[in-house]
């Protein structure tokens, strides 16, 4: 694969675009023209765990970009439908890869065209400083798996491309065990952080006193695990262990939903907790705690919309 | 005074014995404490003291009297102090601090009630147990009037309402003592019933508060807007149902359905725009009363083997909010 387009140049999109720019011809599809212009003129700088500036093409319309073989759809889940509709009718031979939180992103994209699809989850994180500068913070992996019309070999090829660019990536014959581990982890950590204002820190794993937050975190994760089991998904990692490990590192990561709530932006609630609750109903597993969290975060969003 | 030339023999004059003078100390003279203190102080037969740690408030009360405005206009002479040593021996204490300050407040003032009875009119459950660690005769109480301190010595009286008092089962005040305090409160303008079992009104209020206050605190919505969103209103009902189960397991008969109170309060002419006190606390980054509301229900539930998972979850979230400051 020699031509890649990254649709949506937020933190994750920028990290992909800049790194892949070192091993492929990369373009970025942006929402704002000034963002595209800035990328064309100044390139895209990465700091933090890497330090370089990549040059790349950028435009707000697919027609203005060279036809790619791989499109990484890296916008936020809340923008996914809009971005996918802008790709409608373009690049029928490309493989589109979704990297949104939650599950079901590939299904949203599938409604807008017949592309072959890959599904991915990414654990890397960064901080966006401005339109042309992103800081690479957590160098954790991106996991890629086949979705509509693709095979494990396609997933391996993309994972190798990503790995060759300096990011971490791994392919899986079936992404669901990884995706579900992350879904349960995210549905829990993001909503608890958004409602309490706490970054993902040691409070989330504390179980010593009856009022410690770890009990709620565990309860939410146990509900999620019951849904996964009923859906026939064997989790790749235990979400509680992921939680304990992440908080033991001593860092206090700000989950995106907490950042969204603090900035009074719409959250990815529907793609994360919403997806889990819908799946729970489908398989007939009660998830009263996740429903409680969903109602509270939804109401929190409503509190600043009026 | 009977005149010299009166034909009525003085000793036989009263139709009933003149009420014995009583001394009442209000412990924690915030909004609710002030409503009791000022109204009781309008009675000739009640001497009222107020114990509060806010010096400016105490000084203003001693200088200008304690003033209520809004639902009632009262300016009353109240002896206020921040020094528990100044309190005389009292017949009654009325504890009205925030629930998390009960222990320190009663520890400091218990000496004044060596021969008296102490009532709580605080939010939540568990306050009586704390009082009983320090004093002999305890009165379980629940009060609905509300207000806020708007300036030192001045309290805005927002909502009138009833109060219920009854002996606390573990360390009961004699019922006639409960009646005497209820009578004084009622005569002073705070309608109060003495009841044998005061748990029903208390649990109704606790369930109401625990089902609504934290939803406001966690979402930022006023009471009316919480009730307008069907999923959130259902969450309140879920909390009510768990609370009712925990109350029922103790044989407590609620004196009214908290659901009715929730819907009544949501009316535009009642408390639609009211920000729950817990939301006000969260916005001001003050410790909340969640331990005594959702925490109280959850702990009683655990002890009784009645699950209250939603109260547990809400309790953990609000504690998390407090931990984030």
Q: Is A303's CB within 8 Å of B324's CB?
A: no
Average pLDDT in chain A: 95
pLDDT value, residue B17: 57
Q: Would the pLDDT of A213 be above 80?
A: yes
pLDDT value, residue B8: 45
Domain end call among A126, A147, A171 = A171
pLDDT value, residue B3: 38
A26 and A155 belong to one structural domain: yes
* A interface test, pick of B212, B323, B325 with most A CB neighbours within 10 Å: B323
A70 and A87 belong to one structural domain: yes
Pick the catalytic residue from B98, B205, B244, B275.
B205
Domain end call among A148, A171, A194 = A171
Q: Is B231's CB within 8 Å of A213's CB?
A: no
A17 and A165 belong to one structural domain: yes
Distance from CA of A181 to the nearest CA of B (A): 22
Dump pLDDT digits (tens) for A227-268: 999 999 999 999 999 999 988 877 678 898 999 999 999 999
A154 and A189 belong to one structural domain: no
Whether residue A137 lies within 8 A of chain B, CB to CB, comes out as no
Dump pLDDT digits (tens) for A22-64: 999 999 999 999 999 999 999 999 999 999 999 999 999 999 9
Average pLDDT in chain B: 93
* A interface test, pick of B320, B321, B322, B325 with most A CB neighbours within 10 Å: B320
Domain count of the fold of chain A: 2
Q: Name chain B contacts of A288, Cβ cutoff 8 Å.
A: 238, 309-310
What would the two tokens of residue A98 be? 């979704």
pLDDT band at B7 (very low <50, low <70, confident <90, very high): very low
Q: Name chain A contacts of B310, Cβ cutoff 8 Å.
A: 288, 292
Residues in A 166-205 with any Cβ partner in B closer than 8 A: 192, 195-198, 203
pLDDT value, residue B13: 47
Q: Name chain B contacts of A196, Cβ cutoff 8 Å.
A: 317, 320-321, 323-324
Report the residue from A197, A289, A299 with minimal CB separation from B313.
Answer: A289
Chain B residue with Cα closest to A305? B221
| ipTM score over 0.85, yes or no | no
pLDDT value, residue B6: 42
A114 and A186 belong to one structural domain: no
pLDDT value, residue B159: 84
What's the mean pLDDT in B76-96?
98
A8 and A151 belong to one structural domain: yes
The domain that contains A101 carries what CATH number?
A: 3.40.50.720
What predicted TM-score, i.e. pTM, was given to this entire model?
0.84
Which of helix, strand or coil describes residue B89?
Answer: coil
What domain range is A52 assigned to? 3-171
Nearest CA to B316 among A215, A253, A201? Answer: A215
Q: Would the pLDDT of A1 be above 80?
A: no
A11 and A142 belong to one structural domain: yes
pLDDT value, residue B20: 81
* B interface test, pick of A247, A299, A302 with most B CB neighbours within 10 Å: A299
Question: Is B205 among the catalytic positions?
Answer: yes
Q: Is B219's CB within 8 Å of A296's CB?
A: yes
A186 and A166 belong to one structural domain: no
Domain end call among A171, A190, A211 = A171
Dump pLDDT digits (tens) for A96-131: 999 998 888 999 999 999 999 999 999 898 999 999
Buried b (16+ CB within 10 A) or exposed e, A216-248: bbbbbbebbbbbbeeeebebbeebbebbbebbe
Q: Would the pLDDT of B41 be above 90?
A: yes
A13 and A54 belong to one structural domain: yes
**H/E stretch holding B262:** helix B258-265
Residues contacting residue A146 through CB under 8 Å, at least 6 positions apart: A118, A119, A152, A154, A155, A173, A174, A175
A186 and A38 belong to one structural domain: no
Dump pLDDT digits (tens) for B46-69: 999 999 999 999 999 999 999 999
Distance from CA of B214 to the nearest CA of A (A): 10
Rounded to whole angstroms, the Cα distance separating B279 from A303 reads 13
The domain that contains A289 carries what CATH number?
A: 1.10.1040.10
Chain B residue with Cα closest to A288? B310
What's the mean pLDDT in B179-193?
97
A123 and A183 belong to one structural domain: no
A66 and A208 belong to one structural domain: no
What would the two tokens of residue A5 be? 């387009």
């Amino acid at each position: 694969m020699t031509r890649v387009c990254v649709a949506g140049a937020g933190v994750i999109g920028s990290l992909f675009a800049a790194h892949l720019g070192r091993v492929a011809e990369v373009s970025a599809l942006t929402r704002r023209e000034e963002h595209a212009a800035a990328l064309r003129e100044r390139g895209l700088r990465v700091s933090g765990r890497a330090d370089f500036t990549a040059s790349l093409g950028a435009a707000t319309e697919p027609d203005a970009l060279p036809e790619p073989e791989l499109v990484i759809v890296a916008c936020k889940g809340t923008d996914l439908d809009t971005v996918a509709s802008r790709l409608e009718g373009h690049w029928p031979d490309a493989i589109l890869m979704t990297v949104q939180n939650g599950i079901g992103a590939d299904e949203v994209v599938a409604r807008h065209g017949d592309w072959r699809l890959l599904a991915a989850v990414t654990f890397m994180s960064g901080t966006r400083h401005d339109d042309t500068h992103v800081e690479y913070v957590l160098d954790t992996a991106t996991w890629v798996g086949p979705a509509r019309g693709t095979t494990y070999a396609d997933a391996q090829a993309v994972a190798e491309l990503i790995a060759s660019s300096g990011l971490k990536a791994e392919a899986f014959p079936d992404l669901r065990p990884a995706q579900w581990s992350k879904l349960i982890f995210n549905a829990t950590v993001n909503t608890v952080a958004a409602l309490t204002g706490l970054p993902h820190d040691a409070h989330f794993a504390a179980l010593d006193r009856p009022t410690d937050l770890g009990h709620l975190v565990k309860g939410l994760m146990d509900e999620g695990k019951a849904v996964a089991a009923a859906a026939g998904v064997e989790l790749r990692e235990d979400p509680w262990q992921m939680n304990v490990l992440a908080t033991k590192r001593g860092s206090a990561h700000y989950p995106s939903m907490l950042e969204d709530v603090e900035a009074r932006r719409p959250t990815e609630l529907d793609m994360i907790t919403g997806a889990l609750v819908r799946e729970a109903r489908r398989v007939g597993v009660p998830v009263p705690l996740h429903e409680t969290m969903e109602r509270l975060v939804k109401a929190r969003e409503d509190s600043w919309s009026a | 005074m009977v005149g010299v030339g009166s034909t009525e023999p003085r000793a036989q004059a009263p139709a009933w014995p003149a009420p014995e003078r009583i001394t009442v100390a209000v412990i924690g003279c915030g909004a609710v404490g002030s409503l009791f203190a000022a109204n009781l102080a309008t009675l000739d037969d009640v001497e009222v003291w107020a114990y509060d740690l806010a010096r400016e408030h105490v000084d203003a009360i001693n200088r200008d009297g304690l003033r209520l405005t809004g639902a009632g206009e009262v300016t009353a002479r109240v002896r206020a102090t921040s020094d528990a040593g100044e309190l005389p021996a009292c017949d009654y204490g009325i504890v009205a601090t925030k629930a998390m300050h009960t222990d320190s407040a009663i520890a400091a003032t218990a000496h004044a009630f060596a021969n008296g009875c102490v009532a709580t009119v605080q939010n939540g459950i568990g306050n009586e147990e704390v009082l009983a660690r320090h004093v002999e005769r305890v009165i379980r109480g629940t009060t609905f009037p509300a207000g806020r301190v708007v300036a030192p010595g001045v309290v805005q009286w927002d909502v009138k309402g009833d109060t219920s008092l009854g002996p606390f089962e573990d360390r009961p005040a004699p019922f006639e003592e409960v009646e005497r305090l209820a009578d004084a409160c009622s005569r002073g303008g705070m309608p109060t019933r003495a009841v044998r079992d005061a748990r029903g009104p208390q649990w109704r209020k606790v369930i109401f508060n625990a089902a609504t206050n934290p939803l406001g605190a966690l979402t930022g919505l006023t009471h009316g807007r919480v009730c307008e969103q069907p999923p959130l209103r259902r969450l309140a009902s879920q909390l009510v149902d768990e609370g009712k189960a925990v109350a029922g397991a103790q044989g407590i008969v609620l004196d009214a359905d908290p659901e009715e109170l929730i819907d009544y309060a949501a009316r535009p002419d009642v408390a639609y725009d009211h920000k729950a006190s817990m939301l006000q606390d969260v916005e001001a980054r003050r410790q909340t009363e969640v331990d005594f509301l959702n925490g109280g229900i959850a702990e009683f539930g655990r002890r009784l083997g009645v699950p209250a998972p939603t109260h547990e979850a809400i309790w953990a979230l609000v504690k998390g909010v407090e931990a984030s400051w």
